[in-house]
Amino acid sequence: MALKHADIIAKMTLEEKASLCDGLDYWHSQPVERVGIKSFSLNDGPHGIRKKGDPGDTPKGETNLLKGVPAICFPTASATACSWDTDLLYKMGEALGEECLKEKVSVLLGPGTNIKRSPLCGRNFEYFSEDGVLAGEMSAAFVNGVQSKGVGTSLKHYAANNQETRRMTVNSVVDERTLRETYLLPFEITVKKAQPWTIMNSYNRVNGTYAAENKWLLTDVLRKDFGFKGVVVTDWGAENERVPGLLAGQNLEMPTSNGEGNREIAEAVRDGRISEDQLNEMVDGVLDVIFKAKEVLGEHTYNEAEHHEFARKVAQDSMVLLKNEEDILPLNKDKKYAVIGQMAKKPRHQGAGSSLVNPIKLDNAFDTMFDRGINVTYAEGYALTKKEAKELISGKLSHYFGVSTDEATDEQYYKAVALVVRELMHQGLREFRNEADNVNSKKIYYLSMEFLMGRSLKNNLYNLNLTKVMADALKDYGISLEKLYDCEPDAGLGNGGL
């Protein structure tokens, strides 16, 4: 195979070539200053830049590993796929590319295009679809949009990474036809239509071999069958054995191995396990990304307000209204509406980890309704933070059972949680007591009285259409709503705290 950068590679020592196959730190490739090779940066994420901020800007006691510099927060793939609009994804990619230029990000780590095999996968919000064609077409549009600005992408997570549970070690056993027709299809479509600069291999094993060292996946299928011409980079910490990884067709280990990978590669070349030609081929791919990234380095800016409004448009165009019972939408400005719950003002946006964007501006339902002239009354309704909830639970355990959280039995703990939930729900409803001037608020007032009379938590949550909201909130504390129902205190104990 002819090398694009043979003249530069010929000037490098074995150790320098090996170093290019390893990260410099958490977010940069290795430079080789002696021959004029700079490093390039790789940063999250698929729905907004998560670039590590200045340590001086981080409040004491917090880490800035996850909290990045302020950036535009775009809707996740689970939303944008519902638009079926590749032009929209291309434009979103363009916007992200412009933001990468400002932040000097050379490769944006996204999009995620794994198949949604199970609703239990913790990264489903970050993936497009359970349909390989839709996922592939949306991914290709996104990649083409970003790369039109001279910024690279990293299509992930290759391959068969369809669950987060034990993702570092799980073995995805899939026959070849199913792999090609379902799980590899979005990668194939994206490679053939967009040629992402890099592809990120996954943590898991595929049919017994780790993806990071799976030659069939990385070379036979990806490079030979699909025609991929870029760099294969590991997911962060997904390297298993460095020498088998390079032999399988993996160019770059991230983050840094602190020199261990370099030494293993150099030693393997010296003893003949890796040919220098194969190492040169892997290095050539890394150099290609470095030189493409160098072309657009410089001072750039973008209009934050315009990008934020575009992010709102992406969200709007991705929404699908399945039912509009009694024509409740659009909201009637002549009516009054009750808004209950902290998430109306402090929404949970995106996911965690690589998608945790630090938004320049974050819209919320309450302010938006207020700005549009909708007549709303708000009640906090429940505790949102874990710290608040733990303090309330601890107080109930001490008051009713005379024990601390550590001393409490499971039954005591669940009863304390039930007390807290009922009290918070009642507190939120009670704030509407003076708003009984229409049918809706009268119903709310009536339901709040049911709490005082000891009616069941289950019925009240159902009547208020809050069952799912409460179940999701309790998941953060490892608590099952069904178990909570079973342990709900009797009326005397429960209402004594109200």
Q: Which residues are catalytic?
A: 235
Contact 385, 379 (CB under 8 A): no
Beta-carbon contacts of 415 under 8 Å, excluding residues fewer than 6 positions away, are 396, 400, 401, 487, 488, 489, 493
How is residue 53 written in tokens? 């901020």
Beta-bridge mates of residue 252:
233
Is residue 246 within 8 A of residue 21, CB to CB? The reply is yes
Tell me how far apart the alpha carbons of residues 176 and 157 are, in angstroms, rounded to a whole number: 18
Query: Is the Cβ–Cβ distance between 253 and 213 less than 8 Å?
Result: no
Spatial CA neighbour of 261 closest among 205, 12, 284, 274: 274
Cα distances (Å, whole numbers) of residue 96 to 54, 132, 137, 245: 21, 24, 18, 31
Q: Which candidate, 138, 113, 300, places its Cα nearest to that of 200?
A: 113
Helix, strand or coil, per DSSP, at residue 156: strand
Q: What is the DSSP string of 317-384?
A: HH------GGG--SPPTTSEEEEESGGGTS---S-SGGG---BS----HHHHHHHTT-EEEEE--S--
> Which residues is 32 bridged to in the sheet?
37
Are the CB atoms for 190 and 143 separated by under 8 Å?
Answer: yes
Non-local CB neighbours of 323 within 8 Å, separated by 6+ positions: none
